[in-house]
Chain A
Amino acid sequence: MYNEPTAEQIEREALYRQVGMTEEEYRRAVELLGRRPNWLELGLFSVMWSEHCSYKSSRRVLKRFPTEGPQVLQGPGENAGVVDIGDGWAVAFKMESHNHPSAIEPYQGAATGVGGIIRDVFTMGARPVALLDSLRFGPPDDDRQRYLMREVVAGIAGYGNAVGIPTVGGEVKFAERYRNNPLVNAMCVGLMRHEDLARGTARGVGNPVLVVGARTGRDGIHGATFASAEDPLEKERSAVQVGDPFMEKLLLEACLELIATGAVVGIQDLGAAGLTSSGAEMASRAGSGLEIDTALVPRRETGMTPYEVMLSESQERMLVVMERGKESVAGEIFRKWGLEAAVIGRVTDDGMLRVLDGGKVVAEVPVKALVDEAPVYERPAREPEELAVFRSWRWEETPLPERLDEALLALLGSPDLADKEWVWRQYDHMVLASTAVRPGADAAVIWLRGTRKGVAVCTDGPGRYVRLNPLLGGMHAVAEAVRNLVCVGARPLAITDCLNFGNPEKPEVFYQFEQAVEGMSRACEVLGTPVVSGNVSFYNESKGVDVDPTPIVGAVGVVEDMERVCTPAWGPGMIVGLFGPAAPAPEDQGRWLGGSEYLLRVHHLLAGDAPPLDLELERKVQEACLEAIRRGLVAAAHDVSEGGLAVALAEMAIAGGTGAEADLGAVAAGVRPDVLWLGEAGSRIVVALRPEHVEAVRRLAEEAGAPFAVIGRTGGDRLVLRAGAVQADLPVERLRTVWKEAIPWALSENSRVSSSI
């Protein structure tokens, strides 16, 4: 019937290699099955055992993450994590990568990435209320990078705007190592009542299994395998899927309506590896079996084989298990929304994933073999040699600029730190009429209409720090994301992550991965923010070059009182305070300089270690700052991160349209001015206070054991930085112009000026 290789041919001609399986994996499949798999069965194994679906390289390491806490309603292993935010409300969220598809077709790659993560969230029964996107490109000095960035941003906008979910945050960074491997990570956050929590399980023998939403075509077959292969650009391009946000919007409304009926047993997005992985995962969670007749799956194309139906990655589809006899409930709701819902099989109790083609069995594989028995690799890890080179850097040799004005302007105008309004004004960030803190602040805040509560969300991922020191960099990734929540006045609850690394078969890459996860885990433990969902993206490499190790953290917190929300915008007549260390000890100066944006942009040097971070101190600083905000003592707050204190102050001055004068003379002894103002270290937050609140904040910091110093006051239209002598003195308007114009200029068609690094 179908012109497919036989089981004998597969073995004899080693055809398993064509679908990305090693000989060892093939042997394992034969052993588990008790016979040689046919072509379709081989397909099921190959996608389920791909890195993308099985996490075979990362699984052991990921066990390290703390995943529990009283706030956690659903940890990893489901379509999204869920945390309690009080009063019967919960937040579901997850982040996922779509790096490889975006490298090939940036608009559709990014768009379908957004589509997939939205489905992961509404699958849980939550209404999606926010999207964030963390993007990494090569420096915008060549046409391809500019093209990639324009298209990725347009793809995110084209999809998210149409579905009607505000894209409220994320970040965009640039570095050489992303030139051939851009990163596109999308995060979705949904809101629900506790009682609406739905899960992806296939329970209840005889319950019908439905596929709902779009029809199935040949798109994206072997996308999951392909995501885990090197050099996607050289691979065939047939795996590109096209997104239909209109269909997604209808699917979203129909599914939420369906879940609300209470007749849904389990529901899951059809994502990577399509029916195969969703079917197997749903059965695996319930310990049941599943029977699917591919002839019953509505098609978009004619002549599709069961193999193609089972592996198709057509977008905007869901797999639903209904209570027996309630099929018509789904039919009615989906008809109203103009969508199809087809019964394609049923739940069994024999633990098999059985595929039929018009009633005839064409594949039969134990669910356990596909899911639980997937290979697990213990990859060797070795410290990259470049780390010793980075560490051998002698910071004392860095020339000291006479004044810091030019350095500050260079940093504000660098693509990483410059204003990203060009990006986020293409995103509808206000639909749903709940966005209280819009993009551009430390975190976005979504107001829970009808209450005084809000949900704060942000992403962060310091790839450079992780490259210099994977362990410490991993700690920074979590600490900074969580600190950003605190800066807007939110109590941090939990995180999701997307771990973007190179080829894990290289011991150096695996070392980065292992160490970063360890660092992230330590920070999560100390800061009380468990990991509730996440995703690993390996093989971000081309031509032998791996991306900077980039764990992206998506953090979620709750604002108890919307009246107390903070942003970086300060006003005149305020006192400028600093939580956390104001200056390094003279012997630690190199630590503040190493890995800094200043060292990179001004001295064109990637060297040293990641900046210091003491997790206990971090916790105290965050607690003190949050408490001060909650008591209404803080008028503005902003995290000090890349670019150091000077950039943080400049950003606050720009946001508030008000200048300031700051003096670090009191702590400057023996420390170079560039380290003082542009050096980087964790656990630092700048706040602006009304003069009458200074003492209360000082007391509060003391009680919490967090360092706090008054460093200046706001007013006027210039930013003046002193350490005894004036180090920088610039009009706020000048700072604003440089900061605002950098990205539009870099992306304009006229720009042919190459930026450094």
Chain B
Amino acid sequence: MRFAVIQFPGSNCDMDTVRAIREVTGAEADLVWHARKDLSDYGAIFLPGGFSYGDYLRPGAIARFAEAMDGVRRAAEDGRLVIGICNGFQILLEAGLLPGAMRHNDHLQFRCEIVPVRVERADTPFTSGYEPGQVIRLPIAHGEGNYYADDGTLEALERRGQVVFRYAGENPNGSRNAVAGIVNEAGNVLGMMPHPERAVHRWLGSEDGRALFVSMWRAGRERQLV
């Protein structure tokens, strides 16, 4: 399976993500410029972290109109894997591929640290390499990760088990229900604020992110994604 990492102007975790995919899975990973429409060659698409378009107006608000988002939408529709990390999560929300929105952190500061995160679902194509309920350590780094959805949406997310990652320690941003990552109903689109691509080697303080890349790679093979 080939991986694509979309590069928007202002993305800054794009290379980190490409490197993590290559190092952990050995699979091919391409940096794909945001102006490319056709992403049909890719079985898995990453929307990386960063400050696309400077995060001006709202994080992700402008990136969602990029041409590559057509390809992302198509991939989401035909069951290929789409994952947004940090700014990528914000883009998926703005694009309506996942429900909800992001507010400023409740303390109004940018927050960067390694935090405990509970894997609520280990039966998704992104998390099969973890144990259900396993608490892992992942870096976060964001100013707007305070997840919001109205009561009805939130209740539905919980009922359908769409909350995949939840902050297990102190809630670092005020996120409702301590949501750190959610999937769509079909289970093939994941958005998460923590950065698995920064936790792939013990020299980096955690290697708990590796299992996510391994899970995706395995799912891609099992589902025979391109």
Interface residues of A (CB under 8 A from B): 154, 157-158, 161-164, 244-247, 249-250, 337-338, 424-436, 438, 447, 449, 562, 565
Measured between beta carbons, the chain A residues less than 8 angstroms from B132 are none
Nearest B residue (CB) for A427: B112
Query: A246-B53, A436-B203 in contact; A162/B141 too (CB < 8 A)?
Result: no
Least Cβ–Cβ distance between A292 and chain B, in angstroms: 29
| Among B16, B54, B56, B143, contact of A431 (Cβ-Cβ < 8 Å) | B16
Measured between beta carbons, the chain B residues less than 8 angstroms from A164 are 12-13, 50-51
Measured between beta carbons, the chain B residues less than 8 angstroms from A434 are 204
Query: A161-B141, A246-B10 in contact; A426/B109 too (CB < 8 A)?
Result: yes
Nearest B residue (CB) for A246: B54
Cα A219 to Cα B14 with chains together (Å): 33
Contact with A along B1-44 (1 / 0, CB 8 A): 00000000110110110011000000000000000000000000
Using A162-B10, A432-B16, A433-B13 as known contacts, list a sample of 8 further A-B pairs with CB atoms less than 8 Å apart, ordered by residue number in A: A161-B110, A164-B51, A425-B109, A427-B110, A430-B205, A433-B16, A433-B20, A447-B201
Query: A430-B112, A433-B20, A433-B197 in contact; A246/B9 too (CB < 8 A)?
Result: yes
Contact status A338-B51, CB under 8 Å: no
B200 within 8 A of A: yes
| Among B49, B53, B112, contact of A425 (Cβ-Cβ < 8 Å) | B112
Could you give 13 example pairs across A and B, Cβ below 8 Å? A162-B12, A244-B54, A245-B51, A249-B10, A426-B111, A426-B112, A431-B16, A431-B198, A435-B204, A435-B205, A436-B204, A447-B203, A565-B203
Measured between beta carbons, the chain A residues less than 8 angstroms from B139 are 430
Choose among B49, B53, B56, B143 the residue with the greatest number of A CB atoms under 10 Å from its CB. Answer: B143
Measured between beta carbons, the chain A residues less than 8 angstroms from B15 are 432
Contact status B195-A430, CB under 8 Å: yes
Contact status B198-A430, CB under 8 Å: yes
Cα A599 to Cα B141 with chains together (Å): 39
B55 within 8 A of A: yes
Measured between beta carbons, the chain A residues less than 8 angstroms from B50 are 164
Least Cβ–Cβ distance between B38 and chain A, in angstroms: 19
Q: Which label, helix, strand, loop or mixed, suits the secondary structure of the B interface?
A: mixed
Least Cβ–Cβ distance between A744 and chain B, in angstroms: 11
Contact status A431-B12, CB under 8 Å: yes
Nearest A residue (CB) for B56: A246
Cα A163 to Cα B55 with chains together (Å): 11
Nearest B residue (CB) for A157: B110
Query: A163-B12, A249-B12, A250-B10 in contact; A433/B204 too (CB < 8 A)?
Result: yes
Measured between beta carbons, the chain A residues less than 8 angstroms from B56 are 246
Query: A161-B141, A244-B54 in contact; A429/B10 too (CB < 8 A)?
Result: no
Nearest B residue (CB) for A449: B19
B67 within 8 A of A: no
Choose among B13, B20, B54, B203 the residue with the greatest number of A CB atoms under 10 Å from its CB. Answer: B203
- Number of B residues with CB within 8 Å of any CB on chain A: 31
Cα A427 to Cα B197 with chains together (Å): 18
Query: A246-B56, A447-B203 in contact; A430/B141 too (CB < 8 A)?
Result: yes
Contact status B141-A428, CB under 8 Å: yes
Measured between beta carbons, the chain A residues less than 8 angstroms from B112 are 161, 424-430
B113 within 8 A of A: yes
A-B pairs with the 10 shortest C-beta distances? Answer: A164-B12, A246-B54, A433-B16, A162-B51, A428-B141, A433-B198, A436-B203, A428-B112, A426-B110, A430-B139
Measured between beta carbons, the chain B residues less than 8 angstroms from A154 are 109
Cα A210 to Cα B25 with chains together (Å): 43
Least Cβ–Cβ distance between B225 and chain A, in angstroms: 25
Nearest B residue (CB) for A565: B203
Cα A303 to Cα B197 with chains together (Å): 49
Measured between beta carbons, the chain B residues less than 8 angstroms from A338 are 9
Cα A245 to Cα B53 with chains together (Å): 10
Measured between beta carbons, the chain A residues less than 8 angstroms from B13 are 164, 431, 433
Contact status B51-A249, CB under 8 Å: yes
Of residues 114 to 156 in B, which have CB atoms within 8 Å of A's CB atoms?
139, 141, 143
Least Cβ–Cβ distance between A603 and chain B, in angstroms: 36
Cα A565 to Cα B205 with chains together (Å): 12
Least Cβ–Cβ distance between A31 and chain B, in angstroms: 49
Measured between beta carbons, the chain B residues less than 8 angstroms from A433 are 13, 16, 19-20, 195, 197-198, 200, 204
Nearest A residue (CB) for B54: A246
Measured between beta carbons, the chain B residues less than 8 angstroms from A427 are 110, 112
Nearest A residue (CB) for B139: A430
Contact status B204-A246, CB under 8 Å: no
Least Cβ–Cβ distance between B177 and chain A, in angstroms: 23
Nearest B residue (CB) for A127: B15
Nearest B residue (CB) for A150: B109
Cα A606 to Cα B203 with chains together (Å): 42
Measured between beta carbons, the chain B residues less than 8 angstroms from A562 are 203
Measured between beta carbons, the chain B residues less than 8 angstroms from A436 are 203-205
Contact with A along B66-102 (1 / 0, CB 8 A): 0000000000000000000000000000000000000
Measured between beta carbons, the chain B residues less than 8 angstroms from A337 are 9
Measured between beta carbons, the chain B residues less than 8 angstroms from A162 are 10, 12, 51, 54-55
Cα A247 to Cα B56 with chains together (Å): 12
Nearest A residue (CB) for B55: A162
Cα A449 to Cα B197 with chains together (Å): 13
Cα A427 to Cα B195 with chains together (Å): 15
Measured between beta carbons, the chain B residues less than 8 angstroms from A429 are 112
Cα A250 to Cα B11 with chains together (Å): 10
Measured between beta carbons, the chain B residues less than 8 angstroms from A565 are 203
Cα A739 to Cα B52 with chains together (Å): 37
Cα A424 to Cα B19 with chains together (Å): 26
Contact status A431-B141, CB under 8 Å: yes
Nearest B residue (CB) for A562: B203
Least Cβ–Cβ distance between B182 and chain A, in angstroms: 23
Contact status B197-A250, CB under 8 Å: no
Cα A434 to Cα B56 with chains together (Å): 27
Contact with A along B171-191 (1 / 0, CB 8 A): 000000000000000000000
Measured between beta carbons, the chain A residues less than 8 angstroms from B113 are 425
Measured between beta carbons, the chain A residues less than 8 angstroms from B20 are 433
Cα A447 to Cα B202 with chains together (Å): 11
Least Cβ–Cβ distance between A724 and chain B, in angstroms: 41
Measured between beta carbons, the chain B residues less than 8 angstroms from A244 are 54
Least Cβ–Cβ distance between B118 and chain A, in angstroms: 21
Nearest B residue (CB) for A249: B10
Measured between beta carbons, the chain A residues less than 8 angstroms from B55 are 162, 246
Cα A91 to Cα B222 with chains together (Å): 44
Nearest A residue (CB) for B13: A431
Contact status B141-A245, CB under 8 Å: no
